[in-house]
């Protein structure tokens, strides 16, 4: 299916309809209330349906299980994630709202799943520039995380904290330290789980460089930006514009700190690696705003 989001959209109503038919009629015909471990046939249909559901998109790596009481909410959230990747943020919010309604109605409320959907909703608001609403949903997400901070690494907590740091960077009334701490915690978790040379760590390093620079500490901004550039030089760990984004910021900081020669060399390299890509070939190497705009929305600093 790949990234054919239209096909995904066509498939979701079918999946939900098939699941309803399964739970309403097939199990009744078999004299069952729900699948049990000894009924292979009873498992076969939901497993097949859920395979298609998982193909739609699961950005957070959640393993889909049809026997989960919140299965339908997960279907809604998965489709919301697919819409986010397609840039359809407002449409995604409708599916996140449906997922939240299901989770909140559950007995007991499925708090371990609520935090993820709250976080997704907050990020969709963040991407639309609706910062106050993003703040509200992030607060709810953090309150519902079942893994207390400081008690081990958790991918979903790291995602939420990175979003919180990104939000604080965009709020003019927030001091740089309010962005620094959640991104530092996210970086620590990501490095503990994934190691230092992965994209999610690179974007944290870039954000650190941006925060230090915005706070007037130009010298401190250089090392994290160099680390981000080093990560993004690996083709398997970069996306459109990410490498040039960090290189452009690094060149600007170096120029401001007096190292104009290295800044000039970096900008020449930006031109060289961008010229054959129609998406980046016309962007000036020192146009930080344009480089920020071309990277994935989740990784933007402003």
pTM of this structure: 0.70
Tell me what pLDDT residue 86 has: 84
CATH 3.40.190.10, domain 153-302, yes or no: no
Tell me what pLDDT residue 112 has: 60
Tell me what pLDDT residue 133 has: 93
HEC assignment per residue over 137-194: HHHHHHHHCCCCCCCCCCHHHHHHHHHHHHHHHHCCCCCHHHHHHHHHHHHHHHHHHH
Are 1-146 and 153-302 in the same CATH fold? yes
Q: Would you call 87 helix, strand, or coil by DSSP?
A: coil
Tell me what pLDDT residue 152 has: 62
Q: Return phi, psi of residue 210, to 5°.
A: -65, -45
DSSP summary character for residue 68: S
Q: Would you call 258 helix, strand, or coil by DSSP?
A: coil
Per-residue pLDDT of the chain (302 residues; tens, 9 = 90+): 444 444 555 555 555 555 554 444 443 443 434 433 333 333 333 334 444 444 443 444 444 443 345 677 878 888 888 888 888 999 999 999 988 888 877 765 565 677 788 889 999 998 998 999 999 998 888 877 654 444 567 788 888 899 999 989 888 777 777 888 899 999 999 999 999 999 999 999 999 999 999 888 999 999 999 999 999 999 999 889 999 999 999 999 999 999 999 999 999 999 999 998 888 989 999 998 898 888 888 888 87
Token digits of residue 80 = 């919301």
Tell me what pLDDT residue 292 has: 86
Tell me what pLDDT residue 221 has: 95
Q: Positive or negative CA dihedral for 128, 131, 136, 140?
A: positive
Looking at the domain 1-146, which fold is it? 1.25.40
Q: What is the residue extent of each domain of the chain?
A: 1-146, 153-302
Tell me what pLDDT residue 172 has: 75
């Amino acid at each position: 299916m790949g990234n054919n989001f239209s096909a995904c959209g066509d498939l979701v109503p079918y999946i939900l309809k098939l699941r309803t038919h399964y739970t309403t009629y097939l199990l009744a015909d078999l004299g069952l209330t729900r699948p049990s471990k000894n009924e292979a046939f009873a498992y076969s249909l939901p497993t097949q349906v859920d395979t298609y559901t998982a193909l739609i998109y699961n950005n957070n790596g959640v393993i889909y299980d049809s026997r989960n009481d919140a299965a339908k909410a997960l279907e809604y959230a998965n489709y919301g994630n697919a819409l986010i990747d397609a840039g359809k943020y407002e449409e995604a919010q409708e599916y996140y709202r449906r997922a939240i309604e299901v989770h909140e109605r559950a007995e007991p409320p499925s708090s371990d799943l609520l935090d993820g959907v709250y976080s997704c909703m907050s990020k969709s608001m963040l991407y639309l520039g609706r910062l106050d609403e993003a703040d509200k949903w992030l607060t709810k997400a953090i309150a519902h995380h079942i893994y207390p901070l400081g008690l081990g690494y958790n991918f979903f907590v790291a995602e939420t904290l990175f979003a919180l740091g990104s939000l604080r960077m965009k709020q003019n009334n927030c001091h740089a330290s309010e962005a620094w701490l959640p991104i530092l915690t996210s970086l620590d978790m990501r490095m503990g789980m994934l190691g230092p040379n992965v994209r999610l760590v690179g974007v944290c390093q870039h954000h650190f460089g941006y925060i230090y620079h915005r706070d007037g500490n130009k010298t401190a901004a250089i090392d994290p930006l160099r680390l981000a550039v080093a990560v993004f030089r690996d083709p398997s760990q970069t996306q459109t514009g990410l490498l040039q984004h960090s290189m452009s910021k690094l060149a600007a900081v170096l120029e401001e700190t007096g190292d104009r020669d290295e800044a000039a060399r970096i900008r020449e390299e930006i031109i060289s690696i961008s010229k054959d890509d129609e998406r980046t070939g016309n962007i000036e190497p020192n146009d930080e705003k344009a480089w920020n705009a071309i990277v994935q929305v989740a990784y933007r600093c402003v």
